[in-house]
Amino acid sequence: MSDVMDDPSVLEPVGGATTPLGSGPTSEPPTLPPRAGRRLARPMWWIAAGAGVAALATRLPLLTHPRVLVFDEVFYATQGWEISRTGVEQGLTVHPPLAKWLLALGIKVFGFTPLGWRIVPLLAGVLVVVATVIAAARLFDQRGATVLAGAVVLTDGIAFTTGRLALLDGIVAAFTTSALAVVATTLSRPLDVPLRRRCEVAAALLLGAAVACKWSAMPLVPVAALVIGVLAWRAFPDRRMRRLELLRSLATVLILPVSVYGLAYVPTIINFDESAIGRDWCSPSVDCTAGLPTRLRETVANQRSMWRFHESLVPMNRYAKNASSWVFQTEPVGLLSSPCPSADPTCSSDDSPSVRRIIGMSNPAVWALATIALGFLLLSSLSRQSLRRALIWMWAAALWLPWIVRPRLGWLPFESARPGYTFYAAPLVPALALALAVAWGDIRGRKRYIIGAAFAALLVVGFAVLYPVWTGLPTSSSYLNGLVSPGR
């Protein structure tokens, strides 16, 4: 098993000399591997399809309940509705528009109904599960680890709740996880230059789309650039060719996301007069006809406003906590808590008054183990010089650390980051799942199966216990008290 996990592609390139990560050039031009190896093995596709169907089957029931806007749906579903009518958000915006455009697509098709504003997050959540399985298959080429990675995301509460509500984070996760699968694909065939070039473009577009949904995906761009840059550097023996290839790759990975981000604002520029930016610009003047330069200038100025907003924001909501609390899920977000109407016969309970709650929390035991697995991955990636392992922990670090600490000038070069909500972790879940899969894959002998079975039981029990508070099923108000007590 450890052979599979030890990055055979980096330590032992197919058809080339053995070259540890980051070492000097190979003596011969790399030989391209056979084309057939580009395809995933059929069992992996079956695993991916099965995981997607399971995600749909578990998340679709009760999707339209509650029939009211839940937590920040009141912002994003409303903005999606505005976009579906006018092509632009009419109120103040503090996030880029792409995710809201996708919400608008669902609203356009199904109307301003719960199905309309939740259908795109549902599909995004299914994509997260499928893309995680594909990433695992590409990185490990091992069925057990692939199934385990998919099962973790499938049964995770953050992935589950963000995959059913009109929040931005589930959509961001769909783009970032797809990008992760793409980077994993190029890592699985590091000497296949045409494949890598296509994957560079795909990863850059997907990351650009993620950032065009929410800025929190931005730290992933340098991570992808680093991994792809290392592969580009190692692709050719000739020094000049290497430099050119590295430059070309970095230009692709760094410039394309900016282009996608800019494209996401084209509708805002076209429908400038209807937007908050346009109204803000127009109000003091008499002639409100904005030319293209004005529209561009004001849209850029809006980016600065958004930055200042996030810089100065001090969330007053009791659920906003530092992301270090995510490890044990001690501060989950209460997304909904609604007493059951007395007229609702499905809502009765014998022991105490019933409530419907939706809580953005995961199985704490799984997250604690995943955090340990990330630490293990960090060490093993260094000792084994494994770029595959490094990709997973760097991906997780890029999505988690900015919510824990932020840099500053002073004797201590960092300070506590501004508080966030547990559902901000949606794009992080696939990286945790991959870390757990690698750690499990490194266990040898019979212990591996025993631990695997115990972990599977942990996932199933956690899913069954927490399912009612992920979906808003009626429970007694004392259900899981102590464990599930958001914002305490």
Partner 1 sequence: MCSVLLAVTLTAAAGGLATGCGPKSSDDQWAAVMVDTCRSIVARARLRNPTPEELNARRFLDERRRLLASGRTFNTVSAFRNVCGAVRDEITGKSTPKTTLGGISDDPAVARTLP
Which of residues 25, 33, 116, 472 is near partner 1 by CB under 8 A?
Answer: 116
- Verify binding: residue 105, partner 1, rule CB under 8 A: yes
- For residue 333, the cross-strand partners are 360
Q: Enumerate residues 6+ apart whose C-beta is below 8 A from 329.
A: 157, 361, 362, 363, 364, 367, 422
* Interface positions, 134-153, toward partner 1 (CB under 8 A): 134, 138
- Verify binding: residue 90, partner 1, rule CB under 8 A: yes
- Verify binding: residue 283, partner 1, rule CB under 8 A: yes
Which of residues 20, 22, 61, 341 is near partner 1 by CB under 8 A?
Answer: 341
Least CB distance to partner 1 at residue 107 (A):
6
- Verify binding: residue 102, partner 1, rule CB under 8 A: yes
Which of residues 151, 172, 232, 320 is near partner 1 by CB under 8 A?
Answer: 320
Cα–Cα distance, 190 to 169 (Å, whole number) = 31
SS3 354: strand
Would you tell me how many other CB atoms lie within 10 Å of the CB of residue 343?
6
C-beta of 134 vs 148, nearer to partner 1: 134
C-beta of 65 vs 143, nearer to partner 1: 65
User: Per this entry, what is the length of the chain?
Assistant: 488
Q: Which of 20, 118, 103, 104 is nearest to 64 (CA)?
A: 118
C-beta of 155 vs 185, nearer to partner 1: 185
- Verify binding: residue 115, partner 1, rule CB under 8 A: no
> Is residue 486 a contact partner of residue 333, using CB atoms and an 8 Å limit?
yes
Which of residues 21, 81, 161, 331 is near partner 1 by CB under 8 A?
Answer: 81
Which of residues 158, 256, 335, 370 is near partner 1 by CB under 8 A?
Answer: 335
C-beta of 173 vs 370, nearer to partner 1: 173
Least CB distance to partner 1 at residue 263 (A):
8
Q: Record the tokens describing residue 139, joined without a space.
A: 């990185």
Q: For 429, list phi and psi in degrees, rounded to 5.
A: -55, -45
Which of residues 64, 110, 141, 397 is near partner 1 by CB under 8 A?
Answer: 110
Which of residues 11, 14, 141, 198 is near partner 1 by CB under 8 A?
Answer: 198
Which of residues 5, 10, 51, 104 is near partner 1 by CB under 8 A?
Answer: 104
Which of residues 91, 303, 450, 460 is near partner 1 by CB under 8 A?
Answer: 91
Q: For 352, list phi and psi in degrees, rounded to 5.
A: -160, 170
- Verify binding: residue 10, partner 1, rule CB under 8 A: no
Least CB distance to partner 1 at residue 333 (A):
8
- Verify binding: residue 65, partner 1, rule CB under 8 A: no
C-beta of 126 vs 428, nearer to partner 1: 126
Which of residues 98, 151, 374, 428 is near partner 1 by CB under 8 A?
Answer: 98
- Verify binding: residue 164, partner 1, rule CB under 8 A: no
Would you tell me how many other CB atoms lie within 10 Å of the CB of residue 358?
23
Least CB distance to partner 1 at residue 291 (A):
20
β-strands 405-407, 474-476 pairing: unpaired
Report H helices in 142-291: 143-154, 157-162, 168-188, 193-211, 220-233, 239-264, 266-270, 276-282
Q: Enumerate residues 6+ apart whose C-beta is below 8 A from 251.
A: none
Q: Which of 99, 100, 98, 120 is nearest to 109 (CA)?
A: 120
Eight-state DSSP code of residue 28: S
Cα–Cα distance, 142 to 156 (Å, whole number) = 22
Least CB distance to partner 1 at residue 235 (A):
17
Least CB distance to partner 1 at residue 241 (A):
23
Cα–Cα distance, 188 to 10 (Å, whole number) = 9
Least CB distance to partner 1 at residue 109 (A):
4
C-beta of 243 vs 308, nearer to partner 1: 308
Angle between helices 98-110 and 114-140 (to 10 degrees): 130
Cα–Cα distance, 247 to 263 (Å, whole number) = 24
User: What one-letter code names the amino acid at 218?
Assistant: M
- Verify binding: residue 94, partner 1, rule CB under 8 A: yes
Of 5-13, 100-108, 244-252, 385-393: span binding partner 1 (CB under 8 A)? 100-108
Cα–Cα distance, 98 to 141 (Å, whole number) = 33
> Is residue 207 a contact partner of residue 175, using CB atoms and an 8 Å limit?
yes
- Verify binding: residue 175, partner 1, rule CB under 8 A: yes
Which of residues 25, 163, 334, 430 is near partner 1 by CB under 8 A?
Answer: 334
Site string for partner 1, 24-63 (x = CB under 8 A): --------------xxx-----------------------
C-beta of 316 vs 409, nearer to partner 1: 316
* Interface positions, 406-465, toward partner 1 (CB under 8 A): 421
Q: Enumerate residues 6+ apart whose C-beta is below 8 A from 30.
A: 13, 15, 16, 191, 235, 236, 237
Least CB distance to partner 1 at residue 459 (A):
26
